């Protein structure tokens, strides 16, 4: 939105980010998790409607059926799923194992992702919610992958050249996350562009509001322990939550500006790489708590293990190709990180 719309209106990026965070603060303050459940359902519906409309329009514009489009994508290598080179970061077994571990860590162990399931009235309904969500996400991800292939076909049909990394289209380089907005806003009818903007905003808010509320809840309950403190009035708890909520909004703004400064056009790759380091200790801690009955003492031993493990993984990731004859570590980094954390916790623990 900033690059394609607001920059032309001379609106500073930091103002855009701050305004969106303010909007999220307003409606999460008003209704909490219940508000997030309803607004996320509405926003996600708009996102999916926008996705489907864009798919059908591009297919119609290219005069292709869904099957014909898939056939053309296959011919051009866009539908390749299984990478058989074991040294590649995209080797299919690395993606399968790493993807499973990412699902456990980033969904099952994540307050943001699970708070909506926790808010369901009964355990059975919560389980239904998880399985339904899983099936829907498979379909949604498939549709987004198809849309990505259609965008490539659309640009090629309009005379763009592709060098394997980016398109040269009308004298400009188009790469990564700029691909969809470039086509939707400048090469499709205005109505489709409006639908795209609505879908884009709808995709944004469920990601940010859930994370902000989850961080606030987790920090207040697990770190500050406001429920464990005797004599702390409801008014004091509410005040603490407001201060923490505002503080995390400022942290979010800082992170947004950091990613803006990094300026990577395929930001999802960076996020998944970061997850390999940040979620690894969480996975190791969870496995240690579930699989063993050993006890951990007081002090900074656990903290040290949870810092040393990702640091060791970073060194391993940087040197793996040299140390292991060209082998590159992909999404299995999260599993390695979790295992190192688990072993470290075993070493500093005692029998229960």
The residue-averaged pLDDT of 259-274 equals 74
Give the integer Cα–Cα distance in Å for 188 and 226: 52
In whole numbers, what is the pLDDT of the chain averaged over residues? 83
Give the integer Cα–Cα distance in Å for 110 and 100: 15
Helices 123-157/66-75 angle, 10° precision: 70
Give the integer Cα–Cα distance in Å for 159 and 174: 13
Query: How many percent of the chain have pLDDT more than 70?
Result: 92
Per-residue confidence (pLDDT) for residue 269, from 0 to 100: 73
Does the pLDDT of residue 341 top 90, yes or no?
yes
Confidence of residue 10 (pLDDT cuts 50, 70, 90): confident
The residue-averaged pLDDT of 216-236 equals 80
Q: Phi and psi at residue 162, in whole multiples of 5°?
A: -125, 130
Does the pLDDT of residue 32 top 60, yes or no?
no
Confidence of residue 35 (pLDDT cuts 50, 70, 90): low
Residue 68 tokens read as 């014909």
Signed CA dihedral, 151, 154, 155, 161: sign only:
positive
Does the pLDDT of residue 304 top 90, yes or no?
yes
Hey, where are the domains in the chain? 2-265, 266-352
Q: Phi and psi at residue 63, in whole multiples of 5°?
A: 55, 50
User: Which residue pairs, CB below 8 angstroms and at least 24 apart, start in 257-262?
Assistant: 257/13, 257/14, 257/17, 260/13, 260/17
Does the pLDDT of residue 320 top 70, yes or no?
yes
Strands 295-296 and 172-174: unpaired
Per-residue confidence (pLDDT) for residue 78, from 0 to 100: 83
Digit-coded pLDDT (tens) for 153-192: 888 888 777 777 777 777 777 777 777 777 877 777 888 7
* Of 349 and 4, the one with more pLDDT: 349
Distances (CA, A) of 81 to 75, 140, 258: 13, 17, 32
Per-residue confidence (pLDDT) for residue 338, from 0 to 100: 93
Q: Which of 151, 153, 214 is nearest to 184 (CA)?
A: 151
Burial pattern 260-287, b for ≥16 Cβ within 10 A else e, equals: eeeeeeeeeeeebeebbbebbbbbbbbb
């Amino acid at each position: 939105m900033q690059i394609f719309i607001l920059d032309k209106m001379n609106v500073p990026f930091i103002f855009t980010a701050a305004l969106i965070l303010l909007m999220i603060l307003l409606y999460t303050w008003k209704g909490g998790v219940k508000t997030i459940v309803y607004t996320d359902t509405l926003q996600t519906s708009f996102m999916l409607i926008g996705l489907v409309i864009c798919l059908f329009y591009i297919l119609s514009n290219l005069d292709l059926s869904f099957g014909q489009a898939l056939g053309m994508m296959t011919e051009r290598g866009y539908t390749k799923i299984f990478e058989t080179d074991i040294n590649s970061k995209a080797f299919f077994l690395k993606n399968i194992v790493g993807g499973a571990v990412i699902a456990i860590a980033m969904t099952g162990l994540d307050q943001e992702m699970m708070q909506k399931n926790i808010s369901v009235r009964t355990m059975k309904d919560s389980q239904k919610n998880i399985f339904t969500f899983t099936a829907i996400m498979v379909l949604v991800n498939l549709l987004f992958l198809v849309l990505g292939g259609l965008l490539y076909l659309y640009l090629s049909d309009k005379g763009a050249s592709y060098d394997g990394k980016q398109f040269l289209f009308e004298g400009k380089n188009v790469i990564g996350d700029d691909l969809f907005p470039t086509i939707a806003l400048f090469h499709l009818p205005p109505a489709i562009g409006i639908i795209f903007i609505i879908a884009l905003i709808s995709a944004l808010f469920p990601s940010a509001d859930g994370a902000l509320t989850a961080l606030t809840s987790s920090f207040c309950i697990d770190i500050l322990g406001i429920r464990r403190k005797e004599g702390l009035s409801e008014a004091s708890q509410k005040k603490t939550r407001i201060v923490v909520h505002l503080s995390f909004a400022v942290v979010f703004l800082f992170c947004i500006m950091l990613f803006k400064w990094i300026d990577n056009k395929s930001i999802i790759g960076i996020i998944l790489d970061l997850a390999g380091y940040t979620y690894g200790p969480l996975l190791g801690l969870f496995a240690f708590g579930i699989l063993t009955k050993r006890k951990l003492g007081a002090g900074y031993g656990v903290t040290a293990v949870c810092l040393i493990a990702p640091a060791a993984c970073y060194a391993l990731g940087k040197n793996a190709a040299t140390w292991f004859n060209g082998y590159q570590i992909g999404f299995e980094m999260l599993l390695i990180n979790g295992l190192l954390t688990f072993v470290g916790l075993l070493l500093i623990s005692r029998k229960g």
